[in-house]
């Protein structure tokens, strides 16, 4: 007897008794057929590219360096090519707000006064099935203007008029994460294709009718070949659903060290769909540690808060990004202002706002066309910095930064920093890592910790630095050596502090023990986990 023919639909693998509300509105047969088509066509290439990541990491471990690619020199040297012109809705991007797609955030972000909202299914979202499906529904409801929200305190939230709303740029998950709740031919579908596919299927035509379009941020890209895969996904999706080619626009986060050496090639591969590049921070530092973790003392990073964007190797990265974008007609978008204003301490807010202003002033004066904030109260601060430089212009892409000349070695000159790891830096890494992972396991991807909005990238750099400091035998400022035993001691102290802070009932209601154990696993295991969200996903409800 022959085997049954494969289903033309993606299969939902979830408990029907606990299905998210209105799930059937998202997981229609037509949408599941589209997901299946994307999976069958593109997942094999995704698999090959993930294997190539491992090969490249092995090469970095062997050589201890990186360089611009000789085989793509012709792309970099060709002065003539440009990315597609920006659509009107993405021409002015001076302030962008980021956040997950829960109902309250959807309304607040759209109403924030920012030009763009990065609607995040990735680092700021814990990928519970409820969040995956609910986030899609919230965006559909927002475009249909049938979204509202009432808090437990009775405060109501509703959308402003359409012309006052931010433009949505949606960020799907990275290529490395699978979605276990959707399978095709017995295999889980990559989360990237689930997030992209459901959003595109339901909203591409709707957004075009609204005078905008299906716009995306592409995370954790490691090479121009991965950008080429995304471009092929866009071409196929537009053709498959009868959407005009070129409707998609993508901004790529340059948040891996390997991608920093392929900025022009990434824009070239996406040029009919490219909108710009973004300079991330924590994921970029995480990528440096991950790729050069066995590179010796010259690659040891100090405390994460000591690595500012003014560090020489970070300046090289951001200035190269601005020059690359403007050379090719793309937007250069700056990094995150993650401060969360205090309701109790105006002095703390004043100091933090001045730091945010200085950071955004620097970005605007360096040539960036816009930047990120994590909270609506920071929108006017960042806007003032860019208004002062841009005036009535939508961007400053005419500022070509031809004065910038970055050598390959400057991008990885970590030893140009004078700061060193400290014991308090270790304690902070344990505190933030534990607190973030615990929230993530409860389904929260964007978490306010010590007045900063933290996401998965924060936890990644925290656990990576712990791993690196131990393996490099770092001796801290108090004379104590970084060891697994010391980390376990600090982690136990943090767990006790949380127990005292939350009380017995609050502690029991959380997932603190699991978070503690997972942090120690990904920070102390000899075999370094590529992403902590992979083992964490196995624990996610």
Evaluate whether 258 touches 408 at the Cβ level (below 8 Å). no
Looking at residue 4, what is its pLDDT? 58
434 SS3 class: helix
- Residues 68 and 186 grouped into a single domain: yes
Find residue 158's DSSP bridge partners: 148
Mean model confidence pLDDT for the chain: 96
Q: Which residue has the tokens 């295991």?
A: 525
Burial of 390 (0-12, 13-18, 19+ CB in 10 A): middle
Span of 15-19, 55-59, 145-149, 442-446 with lowest mean pLDDT: 15-19
Reduced DSSP (H G I as helix, E B as strand, rest coil) percent helix, strand, coil of the chain, to 5: 50, 15, 35
Looking at residue 518, what is its pLDDT? 98
Q: How many Å apart are CA 124 and CA 147, to the nearest integer?
A: 21
Write out the residue range of the structural domain in which residue 175 sits: 29-410
Residue 50 lies in a domain: yes
User: What percent of the chain stands above pLDDT 90?
Assistant: 94
- Residues 404 and 450 grouped into a single domain: no
Residue 510 lies in a domain: yes
User: What percent of the chain stands above pLDDT 70?
Assistant: 99
**Pairing of β 187-190 and β 178-184:** antiparallel
Order the strands of the 11-12 sheet from edge to edge. 11-12, 178-184, 187-190
Evaluate whether 385 touches 361 at the Cβ level (below 8 Å). yes
Residue 206 lies in a domain: yes
pLDDT tens, residue by residue, 248-264: 999 999 999 999 999 99
CB-based contacts of 477, cutoff 8 Å, min separation 6: 420, 422, 423
Looking at residue 91, what is its pLDDT? 98
Evaluate whether 276 touches 332 at the Cβ level (below 8 Å). yes
Evaluate whether 142 touches 91 at the Cβ level (below 8 Å). no
- Residues 251 and 358 grouped into a single domain: yes
Number of domains in the chain: 2
Angle in degrees, CA 330, 335, 341, rounded to 5:
140
Mean pLDDT of 436-453: 96
Q: Which helix (H) or strand (E) holds 36?
A: helix 29-63
- Residues 221 and 265 grouped into a single domain: yes
Q: What is the DSSP string of 185-235?
A: TTEEEEHHHHHHHHHHHHHHHHHHHTT---EEEE-S--SHHHHHHHHHHHH
* CATH classification at residue 194: 3.20.20.360
Looking at residue 3, what is its pLDDT? 56
- Smallest CA-to-CA distance from 120 within 518, 342, 453 is with 453
pLDDT tens, residue by residue, 193-208: 999 999 999 999 999 9
Residue 11 lies in a domain: no
Q: Give the CA-trace dihedral at 514, 519, 522, 523, to 10 degrees.
A: -150
Evaluate whether 451 touches 339 at the Cβ level (below 8 Å). yes
Residue 221 lies in a domain: yes
Residue 6 lies in a domain: no
* CATH classification at residue 464: 1.20.1220.12
Residue 18 lies in a domain: no
Mean pLDDT of 289-314: 94
Q: How many Å apart are CA 237 and CA 64, to the nearest integer?
A: 39
- Residues 391 and 286 grouped into a single domain: yes
- Residues 487 and 345 grouped into a single domain: no
Residue 15 vs residue 427, higher pLDDT: 427
Of 410, 433, 467, which residue is a domain's last? 410
Looking at residue 280, what is its pLDDT? 82
Evaluate whether 447 touches 350 at the Cβ level (below 8 Å). no
pLDDT tens, residue by residue, 339-385: 999 888 899 999 999 999 999 999 999 999 999 999 999 999 999 99
Span of 10-19, 73-82, 473-482, 521-530 with lowest mean pLDDT: 10-19
Mean pLDDT of 304-318: 95
- Residues 146 and 54 grouped into a single domain: yes
- Residues 364 and 463 grouped into a single domain: no
- Smallest CA-to-CA distance from 285 within 267, 303, 262, 272 is with 303
- Residues 398 and 442 grouped into a single domain: no
- Residues 399 and 261 grouped into a single domain: yes
Active site residues: 171, 455
Q: What is the DSSP string of 150-174?
A: E-TT--EEE---GGGSPEEEEEPPP
Question: What DSSP state is assigned to residue 15?
Answer: -
- Residues 365 and 451 grouped into a single domain: no
Burial of 156 (0-12, 13-18, 19+ CB in 10 A): exposed
Residue 315 lies in a domain: yes
- pTM as predicted: 0.97
Question: What DSSP state is assigned to residue 3?
Answer: P
Question: What DSSP state is assigned to residue 411?
Answer: G
Residue 106 banded pLDDT, cuts 50, 70, 90: very high
- Residues 399 and 488 grouped into a single domain: no
Looking at residue 364, what is its pLDDT? 98
- Smallest CA-to-CA distance from 105 within 473, 444, 513, 491 is with 444
Is residue 2's pLDDT more than 60? no
């Amino acid at each position: 007897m022959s085997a049954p023919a494969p289903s033309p639909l993606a299969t939902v693998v979830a408990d029907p008794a606990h299905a998210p509300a209105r799930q059937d509105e998202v997981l229609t047969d037509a949408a599941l057929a589209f997901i299946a088509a994307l999976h069958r066509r593109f997942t094999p290439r995704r698999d090959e590219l993930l294997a190539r990541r491992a090969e490249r990491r092995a090469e970095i471990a062997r050589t201890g360096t990186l360089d611009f690619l000789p085989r793509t020199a012709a792309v970099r040297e060709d002065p003539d090519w440009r990315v597609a012109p920006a659509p009107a809705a993405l021409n002015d991007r001076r302030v962008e707000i980021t956040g997950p797609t829960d109902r309250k955030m959807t309304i607040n972000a759209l109403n924030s006064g920012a030009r763009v909202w990065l609607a995040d299914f990735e680092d700021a979202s814990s990928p519970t099935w409820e969040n995956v499906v609910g986030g899609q529904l919230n965006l559909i409801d927002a475009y249909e203007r049938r979204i509202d929200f009432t808090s437990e305190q009775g405060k109501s939230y509703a959308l402003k008029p359409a012309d006052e709303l931010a433009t949505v740029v949606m960020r799907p998950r990275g290529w490395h994460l699978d979605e276990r709740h959707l399978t095709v031919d017995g295999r889980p579908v990559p989360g990237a294709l689930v997030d992209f596919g459901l959003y595109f299927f339901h909203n591409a035509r709707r957004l075009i009718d609204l005078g905008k379009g299906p716009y995306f941020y592409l995370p954790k890209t490691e090479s121009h070949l991965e950008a080429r895969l995304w471009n092929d996904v866009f071409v196929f999706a537009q053709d498959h659903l009868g959407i005009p080619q070129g409707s998609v626009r993508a901004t790529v986060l340059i948040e891996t060290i390997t991608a920093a050496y392929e900025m022009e090639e990434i824009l070239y591969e996406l040029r009919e769909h490219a909108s710009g590049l973004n300079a991330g921070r924590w994921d970029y530092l995480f990528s440096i540690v991950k790729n050069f973790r066995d590179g010796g003392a010259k690659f040891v990073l100090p405390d994460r808060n000591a690595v500012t964007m003014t560090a020489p190797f970070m300046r090289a990265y951001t200035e190269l990004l601005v020059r690359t974008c403007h050379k090719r007609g793309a937007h250069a978008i700056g990094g995150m202002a993650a401060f969360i204003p205090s309701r109790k301490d105006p002095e703390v807010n004043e100091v933090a706002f001045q730091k945010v202003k200085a950071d955004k002033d620097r970005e605007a004066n360096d040539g960036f066309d816009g930047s990120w904030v994590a909270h609506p109260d920071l929108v006017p601060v960042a806007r003032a910095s860019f208004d002062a430089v841009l005036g009535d212009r939508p961007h400053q892409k005419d500022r070509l930064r031809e004065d910038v000349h970055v050598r390959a070695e400057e991008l990885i000159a970590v030893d140009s920093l004078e700061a060193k790891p400290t014991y308090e830096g270790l304690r902070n890494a344990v505190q933030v890592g534990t607190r973030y992972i615990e929230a993530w396991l409860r389904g929260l991807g964007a978490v306010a910790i010590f007045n900063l909005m933290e996401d998965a990238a924060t936890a990644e750099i925290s656990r990576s630095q712990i791993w690196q400091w131990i393996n490099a035998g770092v001796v801290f400022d108090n004379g104590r050596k970084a060891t697994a035993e010391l980390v376990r001691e600090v982690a136990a102290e943090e767990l006790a502090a949380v127990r005292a802070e939350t009380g017995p009932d609050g502690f029991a209601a959380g997932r603190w023990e699991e978070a503690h154990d997972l942090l120690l696993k990904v920070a102390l295991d000899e075999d370094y986990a590529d992403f902590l969200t992979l083992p964490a996903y196995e624990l996610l409800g």
